[in-house]
Amino acid sequence: MPRRPADPTAPHVLSAASLARLPATGRAYRVADVDFPGFGVLVSPKGRVRYVLTYRVRGDRSIRRVTLGTYPKTLPDDARRLARGARAAADAGTDPAAARRARVRTARADRAAVKAARDAAKTAADAKAAQTVARIAGDYLAARGATLRDSTASLYRGLIRRYLSGDFGARPIMDVTAVDVRALLRTVADGQLPPGAVQTRKASPRTGGTGAARTLRRFLRAVWRYAADDDRPLVPDASAIPRASKLGLGEVLRERFLTPEECGRVLRALETAATVGLPPAPSRSRQTDPDAPTSKHRPKSADTPTPAHPVAVAALRFSLLSGWRKREVLTLRWDMVRRDLGLVILPETKTGESARALSPDAWAVLDTLPRVVGSPYVFPSSRDARRPWGDVGRLWDAVRHAAGVGGARFHDLRHTAASLAINAGATLPEVQAMLGHASARATERYAKLFPKTGEAAAAKVAAALADAAKTPAPVVRPLRQGRA
C-alpha cells in the first residue's frame, strides 16, 4: 500500500484516516482515489465530505456524476462498493443517478404527503377546538337573532352567560355526548351552576330548576340544528341532545278551567276590589308579628282595604273577556285598536301578527278607559304613562283568594275563555281565531271540551242500530222436493 502523501488533497487511496485529515479551505475541491478511476470525494468550503463517482452510461458520451454518501456516516470501503455497483449499472446502460433521483423524488413526495397530512390534521384539530359550544351558541344568536323576539333573545343570552360560560361551553361541540348533556341538564334542574360557570354578583346562589333545564335543552337543540345546517366542515351529532321525555323534563300542560259558578265569584270579587277593596292574598301579605320590634312603626291603615287601581281592574276584566295572553293585554296600544274594522291588530305576538275580534263587553271595557295624554298604551302605568302597566299579579292573587279559586293561575283565564266559548257553541276555528293560535293543532287541546261531540256520534250509532232493527226479516221458503 503506497504511503500517505504529505498533501492530503493530492490523489491517493482514500481511507478513513486520510479523509479525517482533509482541511476546510473555504473553497470546494476534489480528491481522487488512485485505485478506482472516477471515484473520489468532494470537500465543501466548510469541510463537508461527499463520495462521488464520475461515469459515462453505455451508449452516451456525456460525463455524469452521482453522490454515494457522506463521510463519516459512510466509510470509504462501503462507498467504494457502492461506486463499483454504480459503475456496473452504467456499463449495462442504466443511469445510477436517474435511479437515485427517482428515489429522492419518491422520498420527498412521501415526506410532503406526511407533512400535508400532519398540517391537515392540525388544521382540523384547530377548527374542531375553535367550534366550542359557547361560540356556536353566540353565532346562532348573531345569525338568527333578528327572527327571535327581544325577550327570547335576551333569555338565550342569559342562558349562554349563566350555563355555557364554564367547562361545558368551552368544549368542542363535536366532543359533546348525550352523557355530557344529561349531566349539564341534571345540574341545572337541581338548581346548581355547572362546573366553571361564572357566578354573577346579582344572581342568587341557587339558580336554575326544572323550567330552566327545560328551556336550556330547547336552546341547545336549536344550536345543534344551526350547526348542522350552517355548511360547517364538522357536523355535531344530533343525538347528543336527548328528548325531554327521556330526561324527565317533559312539559306538563296545566289546564285549569274555571266553571261558570267560579267565574261568577271571580267577577263579584273583582267588583269588590274596584269599589271597596280586597285584603292581599296570604302569600302577598306584609303583616308582621305584633310582638316584633318594628310592629309599632306599622301604620294602622295598613290592614284597611283600599279600592284597586281602575287600570288594573280593567286589564283583569279585559283578560277574562278576551282570553288574551297577559303580555298582549298589558302592552296593548291605541293604534292597534281598529274600531272601523271591528278588530284589534296585534303586530307582534307569540305567533306573529294576529287580528282579534272582541265581544261587545270587551269593547265596552276599552270604551270606558280614558286616553292618557302622552301615553300610547291602553293600560298605562300609574307611575309613568309612557310605559305600560307592569303587572296585575298582586290584584289577581287577591281576587282569586277572595273568590276561593286559589289554585287558578292568571293564564287559566285564557283556558277559561276558550272553554266558555266552546260550551256556548263556538267551533275550533272560531276559538283558534279568538285565541290567536297560529295552527289548529294548538287549539285541538280544547276539543275534549265540546260537550255534544261524543253524544252526537253515539246517537248516530244508536240510530243506525234502530234502523237495522226496523228492517223486515227476509221470507225463507223451503226448497221444493224433486219428483220421485
What is the tens place of the pLDDT at every residue in 455-479? Answer: 565 666 667 667 766 767 666 666 6
- How confident is the model at residue 37, as a pLDDT? 92
**The architecture CATH gives domain 260-284+305-453:** Orthogonal Bundle (1.10)
CB contact set of 371 (below 8 Å; sequence gap of 6+): 334
Mean of pLDDT values over 173-178: 84
Instruction: Name the average pLDDT for the chain.
Output: 82
pLDDT at 45: 93
Greater confidence (474 vs 204) lies with: 474
The string of DSSP letters for 386-447 reads TSB----HHHHHHHHHHHT-TT--TTHHHHHHHHHHHHTT--HHHHHHHHT-SSHHHHGGGG
Separation between Cα atoms, residue 216 and residue 380, nearest integer Å: 34
Q: What does the pLDDT read at residue 201?
A: 56
pLDDT reported for residue 301: 62
In this predicted structure, what is the pLDDT of residue 477? 66
Burial 123-152 (b: 16+ CB within 10 A, else e): eeeeeeeebbbbbbbbbbbeeeeeeeeeee
**Identity at 34, one-letter amino acid code:** V
Query: What mean pLDDT do residues 87-114 have?
Result: 87
Total residue count of the chain as it appears in this document: 484
Considering the chain, tell me which residue range(s) the CATH 3.30.160.390 domain(s) occupy. 16-94
Q: How far lies 309's CA from each of 305, 386, 484, in Å?
A: 12, 17, 107
pLDDT of 266-283, one tens digit each? 899 999 988 988 888 877
pLDDT at 133: 87
Does 43 score more than 90 pLDDT? Answer: yes
What pLDDT digit, counting tens, does each position of 343-371 carry? 899 888 877 788 888 888 989 999 999 89
pLDDT at 447: 66
Q: Evaluate whether 101 touches 65 at the Cβ level (below 8 Å).
A: no
Q: Which grid coordinates are listed for 94?
A: 442504466
**In 301-389, at which residue ranges do the beta strands (DSSP E only) sit?**
337-338, 343-349, 352-357
**For 138-142, 180-184, 468-472, which range has the lowest pLDDT when averaged over its residues?**
468-472
Which CATH architecture describes the domain 16-94?
2-Layer Sandwich (3.30)
Which of 88, 345, 388, 349 is closest to 96 using CA atoms?
88
H or E segment to which residue 31 belongs: strand 29-32
| 243-263 pLDDT per residue, tens | 777 777 655 556 677 888 888
- % helix, strand, coil for the chain, step of 5: 50, 10, 40
Q: Which residue has the higher pLDDT, 111 or 255?
A: 111
- pLDDT at position 176 is 85
pTM of structure: 0.56
Q: pLDDT value at position 484?
A: 47
Q: Which of 10-19, 130-139, 326-335 has the lowest mean pLDDT?
A: 130-139
| Selection from 125-129, 139-143, 418-422, 475-479 with the highest mean pLDDT | 139-143
Opening angle at CA 446, ends 422 and 416, nearest 5: 65
Beta bridge partners of 129: none
- Range list for CATH 1.10.443.10 in the chain: 260-284+305-453
Residue 88: pLDDT band by 50, 70, 90 thresholds? very high
pLDDT of residue 102: 84
Q: Which three cell numbers stand for residue 251?
A: 312539559
Which residues, at least 6 apart from 158, have a Cβ–Cβ distance to it below 8 Å?
A: none
Q: Is the peptide bond before 96 cis (omega within 30 degrees of 0)?
A: no
Cα angle at 451 between 450 and 457, to 5 degrees? 90
Q: Where along the chain do the CATH 1.10.150 domains lie?
A: 133-247
Angle separating helix axes 310-322 and 360-367, nearest 10 degrees: 160
pLDDT at 450 over 60: no
Q: Which residue has the cell 360560560?
A: 165
CATH 1.10.150 fits 133-247, yes or no: yes
